[in-house]
Amino acid sequence: MSGSTLTKQGSSAPTPKTGSANPFLAITQNLRESGIYIAFVVVVLLFAVLTDGLSLSPGNITNIVLQYSYVLVLAIGMLIVIVAGHIDLSVGSVVALTGAVSAQLVIGSSQPWWVGILAALGVGIVIGAWQGFWVAFIGIPAFIVTLAGMLLFRGLTFYVLDNVSLSPFPAEYGKVATGFSNGLIGGNGYDAFTLLIGALAVAGFAVAQVRTRVAKVRYQQVVDALPLFVLKIVGVGVVVMAFAWQLAHSRGLPYVLIILAVLILAYATIMKSSVFGRQVYAIGGNLAAAQLSGVNVRRVNFWIFVNMGFLAAVAGVIFSSRSNGAQPSAGNSFELDAIAAAFIGGAAVTGGVGKIQGAMIGGLLVGVISNGMQLLNVDQSLQQVIKGLVLLLAVAFDVYNKRRGGVR
């Protein structure tokens, strides 16, 4: 085993315990996390070849961001729900209901656009509290509670909309999902602000990685070999800047991407560094041990579903903004997309495992596959078959990892 012995007293600095410098070996040592990134790169390159580069065009990349942003928002909340050992089948209906409430206020009652957004978020939080009460304090399994919620909130959507669609929203409301920041600091044929944000994102990622590495070295934990560590930062930097370059040469930085980035950063920090995040992992990993450790399981479960209701409302606002109206059938199968994103991104079926960034890559993988098949004019029925097989293979891969770990 490579690495160093324990630091002797009085030494200037601890010597890091490094993992393998062989990239292939380092990847195979943690297939659960690395596999989804490899799969994503392979799928992106595959469709780039099959579509003669059309899938990587500035316009198409922008469309992917706009088209699948609501799925990624739902996937954040669904990941937390699944890590805790639950499931939520009602998010599609909550998306529809929150969009319907917003439409009735803004379109039907001529209220300001921001009143509709606040009302939608409030309804989402109330719905989350309702479901959290039954799960956390009454003890009904989340599967049953949210299955009932799926029917209940769909029915309320039909009632609120009186079985008809409402449209259009004011232009300000539509900008939530379809607006762009372009020309803020200039640029000749491109949006310089988008490139600046991309560069700041890369710098932030690099600083965070260095700080994490320094902390691990300080506590004598194993870290990646330095060449592999540098390669990872450079690789992420190239991908992010290429993505920003394409956006900058299209319509600029989408407002919805800014919203999504804020949510990802906030929830990644919460799940990694906060007491609440650690308690969610503890509950999903070993419920009995969490209870014995003093975790207030009921309270944590309650807030998990409140949070899911809030994020479903955010997705409802984004979807209604993009579709420029509210429809009784909105949100159908959205829960399946969010669940698929979480599992494909590395969440464990039994709970206790999963990361926000993994769920985001899982959601993007589903989005790239769907978008690529649309560009290739693949029949809709075959698209559903392929997405179903991808989900099945992802869960099978999770089961394989567990058995592989058990053998060891």
Q: What residues pair up with 159 in beta bridges, in sequence order?
A: none
* Residue 202 lies inside a defined structural domain of this protein: yes
Residue 389: domain span: 50-179+271-394
pLDDT of 379-400, one tens digit each? 888 888 888 888 787 777 766 7
* Same domain as 295, residue 172: yes
Out of 253, 286, 315, a domain closes at 253
| pLDDT beneath 50: ranges in the chain | 1-11, 407-408
* Same domain as 278, residue 157: yes
* Same domain as 280, residue 144: yes
* Residue 16 lies inside a defined structural domain of this protein: no
pLDDT at 305: 97
Rounded to whole angstroms, how far apart are CA atoms 168 and 295?
47
pLDDT at 181: 83
pLDDT at 209: 86
Contact 343, 391 (CB under 8 A): yes
* Same domain as 171, residue 70: yes
Could you identify the residue written with the tokens 């969610």?
280
pLDDT at 297: 94
* Same domain as 240, residue 275: no
pLDDT at 9: 45
Give the 3-state secondary structure of 201-235. Answer: HHHHHHHHHHHHHHHHHHCCCEECCHHHHHHHHHH
pLDDT at 137: 95
Q: How many structural domains compose the chain?
A: 2
Rounded to whole angstroms, how far apart are CA atoms 67 and 48?
19
pLDDT at 379: 87
